[in-house]
Amino acid sequence: MKITLIGAAGVRTPLLVHGLAGAAQNTKLDELALWDIDRERLAVMGRVAGAMGKQVGLTARLKVFSDLDRALEGADFIITSIRVGGIDARVKDETIALAHGLVGQETVGAGGFACAMRNLPAMLQYARLIERVAPGATLINFTNPVGIISQGILNHSGVRILGVCDTPLETFESIAKALSRNPFELRFDYIGLNHLGWVRSIRDAEGTELLPIILSSPELIRKCYRHELFPVDFIQNLALLPTEYLYFYYFPQAAYENTRRNGRSRGQAIAAMNTGLFGKFARASEAELIGIYENYLRERNASYFSIEATAGKRRQEGLELYSEFSGYERIALLVLQALQSDRPVFIPLTVRNLKSLEDLDPNDAVELPCLVSSSGVQAPPVGHAPETVRSLLLQVKEYERLTVRASLEHSPQAALAALVKNPLVGRPEVAHAVLAEYVNAFGSQMALQTSC
């Protein structure tokens, strides 16, 4: 089996190597091909990935390619994790939104829109190349915003795509830890869109419903989240456990004010971390690479959500660098293993809705627990979304549809309509101003016919 990683200059590539090493035999992995448009940075991450492979015993060949066609040839699975414009573009996405009094985040709100408008055209180009060079391959996409990218590729290409994100599994693991349970022994009923999902049921092996136990305990509710994102009474009234990204929708003013008080966005913090990381890599010997990389992961993990939720307070408790249940590399591995197994496994994925979530259209991309096996991927029927979240779900999905349309039609009118529909932008005058600034910042990368 051959896996090709498009976007291999990203800092999470060694994580993927770590995950694949432990299951190379089960997945029958022969080759891991690395490619990125940034060849200089790819050479660095290829070196680190190689060191990781040696440390954890990766038996598959790890090859760095300069030619994408050759990297894709013979691929059974293609993993995409790109960001057009790099970390500098993320910083602009977030700071432009913040300058207009909006949440500054890379996947939701105005920043998520700008990210989608750059990434979707590039991903569609890759999809067309995959159709030609590796038509039998399955595309496993991490490129953000996963929901919008999936919506676009599902409906405007012939590529078989699965949208993946580590947020649902991390949510499940946090809930299991709060309950002092093994997450592998619990069944989670989860419903929504990427970065807009809610847990509405938790059952153990005997079928006992555990969600009421959490909702009745303020202490357990607090333990379900890295930071105190949601007031206890808010969760109890909602009667669901939202993923962390719902914080931006439910408490946007707090997220905005905390970020402004900190003085820099998450993207700016990551940019500084990355500069330090690559500076250390440049001076490091082979033996030092993994230690440097793991210290970087510890710093990044400890600061996750801290700017938006606490104005920068770091988490005190340590986090596992390599979880057996969740994480970027874990969800990729779970999908790969399940697709080659006769035994179906439930995995939260972004897929075509068909008739699963009755509130949305059949061709909409939804994030649901899917049965995954060598027979394929099936999203079971989940009925209607709970009334407490249905209007938000519908609004965000309409925003996603409009963003895809704006990108495909190069339509400034659809782009403006998308921002107005976005719950974190809304007001037409703000939408018009922020869109004009994004067009000015990114020019042709926004793929709009005229400026607004």
Amino acid at 241: L
159 shares its domain with 170: no
Domain that holds residue 209: 86-103+165-447
pLDDT interval class at 315 (50, 70, 90):
low
220 shares its domain with 134: no
355 shares its domain with 284: yes
170 shares its domain with 268: yes
Give a yes or no: residue 284 inside a domain. Answer: yes
Give a yes or no: residue 60 inside a domain. Answer: yes
The residue out of 113, 130, 164 marking a domain boundary is 164
212 shares its domain with 294: yes
pLDDT digits (tens, 9 = 90+) for 327-369: 888 899 999 999 999 999 999 999 999 999 999 999 999 999 9
Determine contact, residues 68/129, Cβ cutoff 8 Å: yes
Sheet holding 187-193, edge to edge: 187-193, 196-203, 241-242
Residue with tokens 């022994």: 185
pLDDT digits (tens, 9 = 90+) for 183-205: 999 999 999 999 999 999 999 99
In the predicted structure, residue 318 carries a pLDDT above the cut 70:
no
Across the chain, mean pLDDT equals 94
Give a yes or no: residue 267 inside a domain. Answer: yes
Q: What is the mean pLDDT of residues 63-73?
A: 97
Tokens representing 133 are 């060079």
DSSP string, 39-80: HHHHHHHHHHHHHHHHHHT--SEEEE-S-HHHHHTT-SEEEE
In the predicted structure, residue 152 carries a pLDDT above the cut 50:
yes
Q: What values do phi and psi take at 21, rounded to 5?
A: -60, -40
Q: Name the residue among 142, 160, 185 with its Cα closest to residue 15.
A: 142
319 shares its domain with 242: yes
Residue with tokens 């022969």: 30
pLDDT digits (tens, 9 = 90+) for 281-302: 999 999 999 999 999 999 998 8
245 shares its domain with 271: yes
pLDDT interval class at 314 (50, 70, 90):
low
Distance CA 200, CA 189 (A): 6
The CATH number of whichever domain residue 26 belongs to comes to 3.40.50.720
pLDDT interval class at 312 (50, 70, 90):
confident
The residue out of 146, 164, 182 marking a domain boundary is 164
Q: Give the model's pLDDT for residue 21.
A: 85
DSSP string, 302-343: HTTTHHHHHSSPPPSS---SS-SS-SHHHHHHHHHHHTT-SS
68 shares its domain with 186: no
Amino acid at 275: T
Our count of domains for the chain comes to: 2
Give a yes or no: residue 146 inside a domain. Answer: yes
Give a yes or no: residue 13 inside a domain. Answer: yes
The CATH number of whichever domain residue 421 belongs to comes to 3.90.110.10
Give a yes or no: residue 190 inside a domain. Answer: yes
The residue out of 142, 164, 186 marking a domain boundary is 164
Q: What values do phi and psi take at 355, rounded to 5?
A: -115, 20
Q: What is the mean pLDDT of residues 83-101?
A: 97
Residue with tokens 């993946």: 164
Distance CA 229, CA 248 (A): 9
92 shares its domain with 55: no
Residue with tokens 């030619």: 67
Give a yes or no: residue 452 inside a domain. Answer: no
According to DSSP, the residues that pair with 91 across neighbouring strands are none
Determine contact, residues 203/356, Cβ cutoff 8 Å: no
108 shares its domain with 227: no
In the predicted structure, residue 452 carries a pLDDT above the cut 50:
no
189 shares its domain with 57: no
Percentage of the chain lying above the pLDDT 90 cut = 88
Q: Rounded to 10 degrees, what is the CA torsion of 392, 398, 399, 404? A: 150
Give a yes or no: residue 324 inside a domain. Answer: yes
Q: What values do phi and psi take at 91, rounded to 5?
A: -60, -45
260 shares its domain with 202: yes
